[in-house]
Chain A
Amino acid sequence: MIEIKNLHKSYKMGSNSLHVLKGINFSVEEGELVAIMGSSGSGKSTLLNILGMLDELDEGSYTLDGVPIKNLNETKAAQYRNKFLGFIFQSFNLINYKNAMENVALPLYYQKVGRKERQEKALRYLEQVGLKEWATHLPSELSGGQKQRVAIARAMAAEPKVLLADEPTGALDSKTSYEVMDLIQKINDAGNTILVVTHEPDIADMCKRIVHLKDGVIVEDKKVEQVRASQYV
C-alpha cells in the first residue's frame, strides 16, 4: 500500500539546514495498523506529513497504492488527499461553526457527493462511532473524546485507502484514549490501513507493528502482539 525508499527531508532554518529525515526505507501492507514512535524531534510528524502529502520530500521516492507521489501541485495533491487519505489530528481540527454531521460530510462535499447522500453517509459514520444522537451538536458542545470520534468519522467518510493519525490521543486522558484506540482497532479489523504517530508506549502497543524513529532514521521495526484496547474500556 505504502512504499518509501531512501526518503530525505531537511528544513532550512535561516542559514542552517536541519536534516530531519535521513534515508527512510519503509513499506506498509494493506490492512496493517502501524505505530510510528519516537521522541519529539525524531522526525515522526514530518514523516507523517510527507505520507499525507501535506509536505514534500526532498529526495527518495514515495508510492501510494501504486501511484508515485512526486512533484504534486496543490490541486493534484488535494485530489489525491481526498481520494486516498483520511486524517486524524491531535487537535481534532473540526470546523467550529459546523455541527458534527456537517463536519463529517465535508470531505464528501469535495468528492462532489450530493447533499442528501452526504448527510445520510455522515449519519451512518457518526452511528459507527456512537455519536448519532450528537449529530446536530457543534464541536464546542462535545467532549474531547467525542470530538476525536467525530474527526475519525470524518476521516472514514471519504472511504480512504489509508488513515493517518497524528497523536490521536495526545489531547485526551487515558480512559478516553483507550476508547479512541478501541475505535481505531475496530476500523482496522474491518480491513483499513492505519498509521498512528504516537510517543506513548501503551498506545503503540495497541497497534500490530511498531516503527521506532530516532534522529531521522528507523532504529527498530517490529511486529508486536496487539493489546486490545477494549479490555480497558
Chain B
Amino acid sequence: MFDIERWQEIFDTISKNKLRTFLTGLSVASGIFILVILLGFGQGMQNGIAQEFEGDAATSIWVWTQTTQKEYKGLNPGRQIQFRNEDYTTIVDKMDLNIDGKSKFYRPRGITATYGNDVLFYQVLGTTPEVQFIENEYIVSGRFLNNADEEQVRKVAIISAKIKREAFKNVENPVGEIIRISNIPFTIVGIYKERGNDQEEDRIFIPIKTAQMVFNGADKLDNLSFTLPAAENFDAAVAESVAFKSEVETFLKQKHSIAPDDQGGVGIYSPMEEAKRYYSLITNIKLFFWFVGVCTIIAGVVGVSNIMLIVVKERTKEIGIRKALGAKPWSIIGMILHESIFVTAISGFTGLILSMGLLEIIGPNIEVDYIVNPSVNFNIALATVFLLVIAGAIAGFFPAWRAATIHTIDALRDD
C-alpha cells in the first residue's frame, strides 16, 4: 500500500490510459451522486412533514360537534349535538385522565363584528386563556386573555397579526381600539401570532364567559381541545393520544345518546395520528429511495466489474510480458486491484463531495411544501462509497486472478 514504486507504476498506467480511467470513475461517481441526492431528498421530505406538524401542539386532541348519522334509542338521525359546560368539567375534573392543557370554545351565532364602518369578516370565538398554549400562539403586542377577564366577564378581544394587517391598516397599534360585536363594544387588548402558518389567524378571541352570557350562549360549547403531557417517544405519544381520544369519545357519545358506532355526532381529531400516517408514508418513500439508490449502486458495481473485466482482458498480453520479465502473480493482482481501488475510491469521493456540496448549496434554498432542508447522513454516504470500492475490488479480483495465473506463454499469445 505504501510502496512508492507501486504508486508510481499505477500513476503511470492511469495517466496513460485516461479514457479507461475516466469511464470507470464516471460510473462510480454518478452512482454515488444519485444515491446521495435521493437519500437527501428522502430526509428533506421527512423534515418537511415534521415541520408541517410543528404548528399545533403535537399531542393535542380536538373535539367538535356534528349532526348524528344514525338512529339511536328512538332518536332520529340528523340531530345536532350541543356540548355543555358540564361536559367539559366532567372530562377535566371527574374523569381520570392525564391532561396537560385544556380549552373550550363557544362560537356565538348570528353576530357581526365591526370596526368603525368596516365589517370584520372574521370568526368571533369565545375561549379560555389556555388556548394560546394549545394552538402555539404568541403575543406580539398587548396581552392574551386572562382569568380576570373571565371572572369579571370583561368585554375584551384579541385579534391576530393577520387581522391587524388586513383590517387595521391605518392604525399604528390597534391595542386599546374598540370593535363592536353586534353593536356591543369590545376593547382590543392584544395581538397574537401563530407559529407554523397564518391559516388559523382568522379568529377574534373573546373570553368564553362573556361570549356565553352576552350572546345568549347559556352553557353551550362548540369545541373542546386538550393537550397531553409529553410522552417518552413518538410511538408512546401516539398510543396515549389514541387512548385519550377513545375515552373522551365514548363518554361524549354516551352522554348525548349517540350510537357508539356513529360516524357523526362527535368529531374528534388528533394530529398525532395524522402525523403517524404521514411518517409511515415517509418511511415507505424513504425505503423506495433506498431501493432506487441501492439499485443505482448495484448498477455502478456491475459497471465497475464490467470495466475491470475488459481492463484485465485488454491487459492480458501486458500481464504475460510482465510475467516473462519476472513479475510474480501476486504482484500482478496487487497492481490491478491497487489501480481499481484507487480509481473507484477517488471517483467515489468525488461523487460524494459533489452531491453533498449540491445538497449543501441548494438544500436550504428549497421552498417547496413537504421538502425542507434535504440533507444526508455523512456516515451512510461514506459507507456506500466504501461498499462500492470493496465491490469494485472484489469484481476486479477474479479476472485479475485468472489473468495472473494462466500460463505466461498463453498470456503472451493473446492478441
Interface residues of A (CB under 8 A from B): 49, 52, 54-55, 74-75, 77-79, 81-83, 87, 89, 93-95, 97-98, 102, 106-107, 109-112, 114-115, 154, 158
Contact = CB atoms under 8 A, between A and B. Distances in A.
Interface string B376-414: 000000000000000000000000000011011100100
Given A97-B13, A97-B17, A115-B8, A82 B325 contact: yes
Interface string B310-332: 00000001101111111111110
A-B CB proximity, top 8 nearest:
A82-B326, A97-B16, A110-B326, A54-B409, A107-B325, A78-B328, A75-B328, A74-B329
A93 B324 contact: yes
Interface of B: 5, 8-9, 12-13, 16-17, 317-318, 320-331, 404-405, 407-409, 412
A78 B409 CA distance: 13
A75 to B, nearest CB: 5
Contact of A75 (B8, B12, B320, B329): B329
Nearest to B6: A109
Given A94-B321, A97-B17, 17 more contacts: A52-B324, A55-B407, A78-B329, A79-B326, A81-B324, A87-B325, A89-B412, A93-B317, A93-B321, A93-B412, A106-B322, A106-B325, A107-B326, A110-B325, A114-B5, A115-B5, A154-B325
Contacts of A111: 326
A95 B330 CA distance: 19
Given A78-B329, A102-B12, A49 B324 contact: no
B8 A95 contact: no
9 contacts: A49-B409, A54-B407, A79-B326, A87-B325, A89-B412, A106-B325, A107-B326, A110-B326, A110-B327
Contacts of A112: 5
Contact of B328 (A79, A93, A107, A115): A79
Given A93-B412, A95-B318, A115-B5, A75 B326 contact: no
Contacts of A75: 328-330
A200 to B, nearest CB: 22
Given A93-B321, A95-B318, A55 B329 contact: no
A89 B321 CA distance: 10
B326 to A, nearest CB: 2
A78 B323 contact: yes
Contacts of B322: 95, 106, 110
A233 B328 CA distance: 40
Given A78-B329, A106-B325, A110-B327, A55 B409 contact: yes
A152 B408 CA distance: 19
A109 B409 contact: no
B326 A87 contact: no
Contacts of A93: 317, 320-321, 324, 412
A106 B335 CA distance: 14
A110 B331 contact: yes
A30 to B, nearest CB: 21
Nearest to B318: A95
Contacts of B328: 74-75, 78-79, 110
A3 to B, nearest CB: 22
Contact of B326 (A55, A81, A94, A95): A81
A74 B405 contact: yes
Nearest to B412: A93
Nearest to B9: A109
Contacts of B404: 74
Contacts of A49: 409
Contacts of B16: 97-98
Nearest to A54: B409
Contacts of B321: 93-95
A135 to B, nearest CB: 15
A130 B405 CA distance: 36
A74 to B, nearest CB: 5
Nearest to B15: A97
A98 B330 contact: no
Nearest to B315: A95
B6 to A, nearest CB: 9
Contacts of A89: 412
A83 B326 contact: yes
B186 to A, nearest CB: 90
Contacts of B323: 74, 78, 81
A95 B327 CA distance: 14
A174 B321 CA distance: 26
A98 B326 contact: no
Contacts of A81: 323-326
